[in-house]
């Protein structure tokens, strides 16, 4: 969950009502499948995705993948810092630059939980996700919702115009996220190391349940975002395109409580996702090129594009949506690597992917590629 979800989901609900909910459902299903495969890869091989790429692929390919992954990390940081800055600037009446500085300090403080082990940091992030979920649950109780249209939108694909296609690609990028595929394959290494195949099977079963529950909750929150935006804005403000406008419009429409809950969720998403991004960035660098750098320096380097974007006066919400499209463009390579490695008999042994899993994962990755290609073709045409 990060501010990129807010930007894409709010615009999807405001402009297209409930008709793009099926994209959220599709993206969440793909995220579940690939997170399960990523976790399995780490548990079975004892190495993360970046390490496996470095060990098996030509050096030129490894360097190219590392550069692509760093670009995706910068796009993620752009979404996180811009989204957090918007939330804090609206709540505390700060400038966007000042809001970004405050969010950087908050993120660094949260990262200190990692010194106490993975569990305190996981609980802290879970608490922030809980804030987002409870905020949107409360907003759904306030917002008028057409539940029959919700059901239709969630399961019946609709025709996509150029604007809808851009949002669809952004939703996929914001939900699946390439850096998280790298991160999850390594997190399982740090949590438990199976001593035999029986323990490995048990850990895989627990991991699968954990992914389904965690991403099930995240998917429901994303769906709630689209539903709330549709109920609040689609009829009266269909062209609403900025997070700031959404916040200011909520007060007269649904009351000050709804507007405050919106900001609380936005700020919580920024802090939690930035911690995840930093951890993923370190793992990617360590895995691809064999060394790491201090967290504060990594944050400084990857956050510079965000400060440049805001300094140049680029529309913040537009920058958020475009950053999520960049994530979707970067997705096919790590998706392909996850499927390839987790289907390799030599690496995975009896835990390799079966044919139905390979087909499902290949179709998911292929769909993402097709969406990216169509978007590029329509943009350049």
Looking at residue 116, its pLDDT comes to 61
User: Which CATH number covers residue 60?
Assistant: 1.20.1740.10
Looking at residue 279, its pLDDT comes to 75
Residues 6+ apart with CB under 8 A from 324: 4, 7, 8, 75, 79, 169, 170, 171, 173, 174
Altogether, the residues listed in the chain come to a count of 381
User: 3-state DSSP helix/strand/coil percent for the chain, to nearest 5?
Assistant: 85, 0, 15
Looking at residue 242, its pLDDT comes to 67
Looking at residue 321, its pLDDT comes to 74
Looking at residue 26, its pLDDT comes to 92
Q: How many domains does the chain have?
A: 1
List of long-range contacts for 131-135, beta carbons under 8 Å, 24+ apart: 131/264, 131/265, 131/268, 132/1, 132/221, 132/265, 132/268, 132/269, 133/217, 133/220, 133/221, 133/224, 135/261, 135/262, 135/264, 135/265, 135/268
Boundaries of domain holding 63: 3-380
Full pLDDT tens readout for the chain, 381 residues:
677 777 788 888 888 989 999 999 999 999 999 999 999 998 888 888 989 999 899 999 989 988 888 777 777 777 777 777 777 777 777 777 777 777 777 766 766 666 666 667 677 777 777 777 777 777 788 788 888 899 999 888 887 788 888 888 888 888 888 888 888 888 766 666 777 777 888 888 888 898 898 888 888 888 988 898 888 788 777 776 566 666 666 666 566 677 777 777 777 776 667 667 777 777 888 888 877 667 667 666 666 777 777 777 777 777 777 777 777 888 888 999 999 999 999 988 889 999 999 999 999 999 988 888 888 787 766
């Amino acid at each position: 969950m990060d501010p990129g979800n807010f930007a894409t989901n709010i615009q999807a609900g405001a402009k297209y009502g409930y008709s793009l909910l099926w994209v959220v459902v599709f993206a969440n299903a793909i995220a579940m499948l690939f997170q399960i495969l990523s976790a399995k890869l780490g548990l079975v091989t004892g190495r993360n995705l970046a390490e496996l790429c470095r060990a098996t692929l030509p050096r030129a390919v490894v360097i190219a993948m590392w550069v692509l992954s760093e670009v995706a990390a910068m796009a993620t940081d752009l979404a996180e810092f811009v989204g957090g800055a918007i939330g804090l600037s609206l709540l505390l009446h700060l400038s966007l630059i000042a809001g970004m500085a405050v969010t950087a300090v908050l993120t660094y403080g949260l990262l200190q939980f990692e010194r106490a082990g993975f569990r305190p940091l996981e609980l802290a992030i879970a608490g922030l996700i809980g804030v987002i979920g409870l905020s949107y649950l409360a907003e759904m109780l306030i917002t008028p919702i057409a539940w029959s249209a919700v059901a239709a939108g969630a399961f019946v694909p609709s025709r996509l115009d150029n604007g809808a296609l851009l949002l669809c690609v952004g939703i996929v990028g914001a939900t699946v996220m390439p850096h998280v595929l790298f991160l999850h394959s390594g997190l399982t290494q740090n949590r438990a190391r199976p001593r035999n195949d029986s323990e490995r099977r048990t850990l895989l079963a627990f991991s699968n349940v954990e992914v389904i529950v965690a991403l099930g909750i995240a998917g429901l929150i994303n769906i709630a975002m689209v539903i709330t935006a549709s109920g609040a804005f689609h009829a009266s403000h269909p062209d609403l395109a900025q997070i700031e406008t959404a916040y200011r419009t909520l007060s007269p429409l649904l009351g000050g409580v709804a507007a405050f809950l919106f900001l609380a969720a936005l700020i919580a998403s920024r802090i939690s996702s930035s911690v995840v991004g930093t951890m993923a960035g370190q793992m990617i660098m360590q895995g691809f090129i064999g060394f790491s750098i201090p967290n504060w320096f990594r944050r400084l380097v990857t956050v510079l594009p965000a400060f440049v974007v805001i300094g140049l006066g680029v529309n913040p919400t537009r920058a958020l949506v475009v950053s999520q499209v960049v994530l979707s463009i970067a997705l096919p390579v790590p998706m392909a690597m996850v499927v390839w490695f987790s289907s390799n008999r030599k690496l995975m042994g009896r835990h390799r992917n079966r044919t139905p899993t390979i087909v499902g994962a290949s179709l998911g990755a292929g769909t993402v590629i097709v969406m990216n290609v169509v978007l590029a073709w329509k943009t350049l045409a």
